Amino acid sequence: MGFFRSRKPKADDRWASGAFAETSGDGGIGETSLTVAVRSRPLLPDERRRGDRRDIVRVLDDKHIVVLDPDDEKNYLDERTHRTKERRYTFDKAFGSSASNRDVYQKTARALISGVLNGQNGTVFAYGATGSGKTYTMIGTRNDPGMMPLSLMDIFDAIRSMSGEYTFEVTCSYLEVYNELIYDLLVNNSPSLDLREDPERGATVPGLRRISVTNADNVLDVLREGNARRKTEPTEANAVSSRSHAVMEINVRRFSRVLTGRLSLVDLAGSERASETKNEGSKLRDGANINRSLLALANCINALGKKQQGAGVYVPFRNSKLTRLLKDGLVGNSRTAMVANVSCGNDQYNHTINTLKYADRAKEIKTNVRTNVVHVATHPGEAQRVIEQLQDEVAGLKRELKAARSGAPISNPSAIDDAGVRTEDVFDDRWLEKLSVDVHENTEERINLQRALFELEDVAIQSRCELASVEDRLVELEMTGAAQIPGSRDKSEAESLRDRRRRLADGLREGENAARRDRAAMDANEGKRREIQSRIDRAAEARESRNGGKLPAFLRILSQYRTRGVSSMEAHFQLAVRDGVLADQRDVIGCMWRMLAAAGVSRERAVEAAKREGV
């Protein structure tokens, strides 16, 4: 049943040296910071052959990394003001393009294994843009195994070498988050599963298959089986792009004094721009959902970093199932290692800086680690007394609520007002916290929906332009009649263009459907906003009547918060859109200069021609 007893350690065993000595005590281990490492992948052979890519990432030593300015040439203003895009960062560990997966594992995730065997939780995840090497870091290859197989082999090596007095039970599960739905990767044609909150274990997935394993080979078989079912598709930015986030969980239970440790190994999908991936249809929808969940993760990292600096901020863990699954790893009972993967190419500068910015913020995050000791359950008599007490309390609340709805007098006339809340609790911390959370979540949802609509509109504009070009070329071929000649090059081109036209039309229809759904969600969001505003107004009125007409200042501020918060976030969003447009324009201008140079037109000749044309 998955139980096995470890053997006695040999004198020369590398695990017998004390690296995995038992942790003393049943209580908390204490506060600890995330281990944040950065890994830069090398240029791929195809990228080197293109000739327009250059390496702009420099790893100075094992902690410091520099991102060079990606621009080959500066405009006049930048030259005069000596502006540069060069950035420098310091992390716990930094790895260059020559580092192997084992090098990364030894200095990041390996330190977590001892805690897992002694009843503590550990989390390892890779973060970065699509094509930056996250899956390679986490899973690897046969010749260069990644952190998942390396950690599994070390867990079982340690189990075999620990004292024979312990008996272990090891189970594992493997799931993916695809389009904000959870699927079991160990079950064929898995239905979507629910995500629920357990007061003891945190986020749990009922119905998720857990397999008992007795050695590393068993777990590697499970890993291969799950990866075969995982959603992957080629895009313009990555030939083997993961379309889902994958989470493998290894649970280790050690008997005698019962300790339970958990190791979560997370392979995230990469953020992507539709303009780079050239996605359409279902791929476009997948990319939007990936970006939405990664944005929620980035917001959580950003908020946690500010929180550690003393700012009172709300952390939006509930904005995505991914962040709910990673909550323990980011702020709960877990020692966590984060590997930020970046691409070294100059064309990936914006993605690289975004990744490093959030990794730098993650250094501020702290978790509270404690040993998970299974205690004896509460005595049945005590449990029954608590149940009866709670049942009496629920019955009393039901009577008060029924009386309030019927208009009948109740024992405490001020207990419930017409807003459906207890008026004496309007200033209660729990009521205020829930109201604040609802306001923030409503605002965040609105911004995310606006972002999704903008991406859909941007892709639709590009698709319509391409469709118009395809239509013009088809008309040109049909007018010449060459497209009707069997076996001719023009006929093959016409068939290819018709297929492209059909796929573009399908993509536009799917994009319109997705935009319709997002607009409906925007309407629902607006309805929720009005409902929240109504709650604030009714609570304020109830408080006014009891305070002689004096409106509490904090409710007025809370009432204005959402409007101004939305305006501020929309302004930030518009600035981000503007920066994206400027970056695209710079790319187009750079491509134009390279095309002119390839055609033998010097920059001086091009400038003279532009002056003659008045450009």
**pLDDT, tens digit, for every residue of 71-116?**
766 665 566 666 788 899 999 999 998 999 999 999 999 999 988 9
What the block records as the tokens of 132 is 């930056």
214 annotated binding-site participant: no
Pairing of strands 245-254, 167-178: antiparallel
Q: Are residues 195 and 322 in the same domain?
A: yes
Q: Is 589 part of a structural domain of the chain? A: no
Residue 380 or 357, more confident: 357
Q: In this structure, are residues 441 and 319 in contact, taking their beta carbons and an 8 Å threshold? A: yes
Residue 125 has pLDDT above 70, yes or no: yes
Q: Are residues 440 and 357 in the same domain?
A: no
Residue 120 has pLDDT above 60, yes or no: yes
Q: What is the C-alpha to C-alpha distance for residues 86 and 353, in angstroms, rounded to an integer?
A: 10
Angle between helices 216-229 and 147-161 (to 10 degrees): 160
The residue type of 70 is P
- Among 354-363, 428-437, 444-453, the range of highest mean pLDDT: 354-363
Please identify, among 546, 566, 590, the residue that sits at the C-terminal boundary of a domain.
Answer: 546
DSSP secondary structure letters along 473-525: HHHHHHHHTGGGSTT-HHHHHHHHHHHHHHHHHHHHHHHHHHHHHHHHHHHHH
411 annotated binding-site participant: no
Q: Are residues 358 and 435 in the same domain?
A: no
134 annotated binding-site participant: yes
Q: Are residues 331 and 455 in the same domain?
A: no
Q: Are residues 338 and 444 in the same domain?
A: no
Please identify, among 317, 336, 369, the residue that sits at the C-terminal boundary of a domain.
Answer: 369
**Which residues touch 567 (CB under 8 Å, ≥6 apart)?**
none
CATH number at residue 278: 3.40.850.10
Q: What mean pLDDT is predicted for residues 304-323? A: 77
Residue 223, exposed/middle/buried by CB under 10 A (0-12, 13-18, 19+)? buried
The 10s digit of each residue's pLDDT in 562-594 is 556 556 656 666 666 666 666 777 777 777 887
- Please give the residue range of the domain that contains residue 460: 429-546
Closest CA to 151 of 185, 119, 128, 123: 123
Q: What is the mean pLDDT of the chain?
A: 76
The 10s digit of each residue's pLDDT in 376-414 is 444 455 556 667 777 777 777 777 766 666 654 444 434
CB count in 10 Å sphere of residue 109: 27
What the block records as the tokens of 548 is 């002689």
- Among 99-103, 342-346, 473-477, the range of highest mean pLDDT: 99-103
Residue with the two structure tokens 């702020």:
331
Q: Is 337 part of a structural domain of the chain? A: yes
Q: What does pTM read for this prediction? A: 0.58
Q: Is 419 part of a structural domain of the chain? A: no
Q: Is 107 part of a structural domain of the chain? A: yes
Q: Give CA torsion, residues 397, 403, 404, 405, to 10 deg.
A: 110
**Which residues touch 185 (CB under 8 Å, ≥6 apart)?**
174, 175, 176, 225, 226, 227, 229, 230, 246
Q: Is 578 part of a structural domain of the chain? A: no
Residue 553 or 198, more confident: 198
Q: What is the C-alpha to C-alpha distance for residues 141 and 429, in angstroms, rounded to an integer?
A: 52
Residue 433 has pLDDT above 60, yes or no: yes
Q: Are residues 520 and 446 in the same domain?
A: yes
What the block records as the tokens of 456 is 């859909």
Which residues share a beta bridge with 184? 175
Q: Are residues 441 and 336 in the same domain?
A: no
Angle between helices 147-161 and 110-117 (to 10 degrees): 40
Q: Is 194 part of a structural domain of the chain? A: yes
Closest CA to 208 of 131, 264, 274, 151: 264
Torsion 267-273-276-278 (CA) sign: positive
Q: What is the C-alpha to C-alpha distance for residues 229 and 136, in angstroms, rounded to an integer?
A: 17
Closest CA to 316 of 180, 182, 442: 442
129 annotated binding-site participant: yes
Q: How far is CA 547 from CA 97, 404, 544, 550, 559, in A?
A: 67, 21, 5, 6, 19
Q: What is the C-alpha to C-alpha distance for residues 293 and 449, in angstroms, rounded to an integer?
A: 12
Q: Are residues 363 and 436 in the same domain?
A: no
CB count in 10 Å sphere of residue 399: 12
Q: Is 408 part of a structural domain of the chain? A: no
Q: In this structure, are residues 449 and 514 in contact, taking their beta carbons and an 8 Å threshold? A: no
481 annotated binding-site participant: no
**Residue 247 backbone phi and psi in degrees, to 5:** -130, 115
Q: Are residues 344 and 434 in the same domain?
A: no
Q: Are residues 325 and 447 in the same domain?
A: no
Q: Are residues 125 and 193 in the same domain?
A: yes
Residue 199 has pLDDT above 80, yes or no: no
Please identify, among 499, 531, 546, the residue that sits at the C-terminal boundary of a domain.
Answer: 546
507 annotated binding-site participant: no
CB count in 10 Å sphere of residue 146: 25
Phi/psi-derived region of residue 530, left when phi > 0, alpha when psi is between -120 and 50, beta in every other case:
alpha
Q: Is 116 part of a structural domain of the chain? A: yes
What the block records as the tokens of 608 is 């003279």
Provide the number of structural domains found in the chain: 2
Q: What is the C-alpha to C-alpha distance for residues 405 and 298, in angstroms, rounded to an integer?
A: 44
Q: In this structure, are residues 170 and 214 in contact, taking their beta carbons and an 8 Å threshold? A: yes
Q: Are residues 450 and 340 in the same domain?
A: no
